[in-house]
Amino acid sequence: MKTLYTARATSVDGRNGHAQTDDGNLSVELGTPGGTSKKDGKVTNPEQLFACGYAACFGGALEVAAKNENTPLRNVEVHSEVGLNQDDKGYFISVVLNVVIPAVDQAVAEKLVESAHQICPYSKATRGNIDVQLKVNSQPLQKAA
């Protein structure tokens, strides 16, 4: 195994605290979903951070998949929804990724999204652990795992 990059961050006081990367490029006040901070009212939460990270990572994996298939892509968007859920066993998250690929045949777009789901490190990390639903141009992808 070859480590290509290691991100480092510190969180203080959990969901109602502060998180920051070691280089200072990301520094956020945290709160519960819909909450506000005492300082300026602006907070984010871990689900939003995960949604941004997964969407960006999946977009990168889609670029790799398209390159492998010699399919040029432009103006691709990955819309992510990360749900914070609760059942009788506790809290858990779920994800919906809607990949918008304009100007590409739907069947080709679905194939690329399936490939990206196999390539993406976030998809690999969540596979079998949380429910991840994939959509292509707002249409559910039936073969996703």
Please tell me the pTM assigned to this model.
Answer: 0.90
Whether residue 121 sits in one domain with residue 65 = yes
3-state secondary structure of 21: strand
Whether residue 79 sits in one domain with residue 37 = no
pLDDT tens readout for residues 53-109: 999 999 999 999 999 999 999 999 999 999 999 999 999 999 999 999 998 999 999
CB 109 within 8 A of CB 101: yes
Mean pLDDT, residues 16-40 taken together: 85
145 located within any domain: no
- What pLDDT was estimated at residue 34? 77
Query: Residue 33's pLDDT band (boundaries 50, 70, 90)?
Result: confident
Residue 31's CATH number: 2.20.25.10
Alpha-helix residue ranges (DSSP H) falling in 30-128: 46-68, 106-119, 121-126
